[in-house]
Amino acid sequence: MRKIIIDTDPGQDDAVAILLALASRELEVLGITAVAGNVPLPLTEVNVRKTCELAGRTDIGVYAGADRPLERALVTAEHVHGKTGIDGPDLPEPTMPLRTQHGVDFLIEQVMDHAPGTITLCALGPLTNLATAIRREPEFAPRVAEIVLMGGGYFEGGNITPAAEFNIYVDPEAAATVCAAGIDLTIIPLDCTHKALTTRARVEAFRAIGTPVGDAVADLIGFFERFDEAKYGTDGAPLHDPCVIAQLLQPDLFTGRTVNVEIETGSELTRGATVVDWWRVTDRPANATVLGDVDAEGYFKLLTERIARL
Ligand code: BDR
Ligand code: CA
């Protein structure tokens, strides 16, 4: 079993990613850290607990991390995700407690207490918590097995500005720290997730499971896909964050290249742009595997099968 920690800002797609992880016996979820992103931290941490309770996993430790980016004011995305961040299903207020330890302290403690190279970090939101851990504890980065993150966009451009994807835009300094940390890094950008669309048939497959979790997933997707469908003119919206978990479970669903990635932090116009050397036109060293394509049918098949287990 692979040990993972999920760092997240739910977000409907974050919630589906958490459910996918909790449904998968290959993965041991050591804990979940919340970060400010789609909505402020007091909502994201509650949304994580609601999602764990939906999965019947009140045993999972949920920790609140950073409530704002390293150097910038928080930008949120209620226009996509609704005022709670997970508008759609009617999930009850959670009764499982928020753990008192700070999310960054939890990350550092776990990575320092486990053998080097045994913990995979799954990042589904702005990278503030991970960057803070990297900056605070010099032994943190060398001990992390790998980071798989959803963020960035290159050929697809951005979704919050023409140049930047939301997770990287919100905290570009954090993203730059993560990219420079020397950790085995897999980046799943919009180029990949925009091929994983929640078509009507795929949402109906979640509904057809006929369980409260299947219905909740259909309701989560039903809410947030409206915004992207109108924006992109597609049947369905990109289901971004579960790609991170799916990549751990079934890496052959994805293809990409190991290349250099740098983050724009200087310009206001292109703040948070992920500058991917896809064509290897520089001699900058490769620091990430950037995934550019996904077998969308296989991805939704995996998701539907796993969600049906909960
Ligand atoms: C990313 O931003 C958030 O809105 C989603 O949860 C996802 O992590 C997509 O740009
Ligand atoms: Ca997210």
pLDDT at 228: 87
Query: What is the average pLDDT across 165-185?
Result: 98
CA of 42 to the centre of ligand 2 (A): 15
User: DSSP H helical segments within the chain, as ranges?
Assistant: 12-22, 41-54, 78-81, 103-113, 128-136, 140-143, 166-170, 172-179, 190-193, 200-208, 212-232, 242-249, 296-307
Whether 114 is catalytic: no
Query: What is the average pLDDT across 127-150?
Result: 98
Domain ranges of the chain: 2-307
CA of 309 to the centre of ligand 1 (A): 25
Yes or no: say if 48 and 10 are a contact pair by the CB < 8 Å rule. Answer: yes
pLDDT at 71: 98
Grade residue 64 by pLDDT with cuts at 50, 70 and 90: very high
pLDDT at 226: 86
The CB of 194 under 6 Å from ligand 1? The reply is: no
Query: What is the average pLDDT across 56-84?
Result: 97
Query: What is the average pLDDT across 83-104?
Result: 97
Q: Which atom of ligand 1 is nearest to the CA of 159?
A: 10
Query: Ligand 1 pocket: which of 7, 150, 165, 220 to mutate (most atoms <8 Å of CB)?
Result: 150
Per the confidence metrics, is the pTM higher than 0.75? yes
| Mean pLDDT for all residues in the chain | 97
- Report the C-alpha gap between 61 and 75 in whole angstroms: 26
Predicted confidence (pLDDT) per residue in 259-298, tens digit: 999 999 999 999 999 999 999 999 999 999 999 999 999 9
Q: Position 150: which residue type?
A: M
Q: Which atom of ligand 1 is nearest to the CA of 12?
A: 6
Query: What is the average pLDDT across 146-164?
Result: 98
Tokens of 201: 């048939």
3-class SS at 165? coil
> Helix 242-249 crosses helix 296-307 at what angle (to 10 degrees)?
90
- Report the C-alpha gap between 163 and 275 in whole angstroms: 10
pLDDT at 114: 98
Q: Which atom of ligand 1 is nearest to the CA of 38?
A: 4
pLDDT at 37: 98
Query: What is the average pLDDT across 105-133?
Result: 99
Helix, strand, coil percentages in the chain from 3-state DSSP, rounded to 5: 40, 20, 45
Name the percent of the chain lying above pLDDT 90.
96
The CB of 38 under 6 Å from ligand 1? The reply is: yes
Residue range 2-307, CATH number:
3.90.245.10
Predicted confidence (pLDDT) per residue in 197-251, tens digit: 999 999 999 999 999 999 999 999 999 998 889 888 999 999 999 999 999 999 9
pLDDT at 227: 87
Kindly tell me the number of DSSP H helices and DSSP E strands found in the chain.
Answer: 13, 10
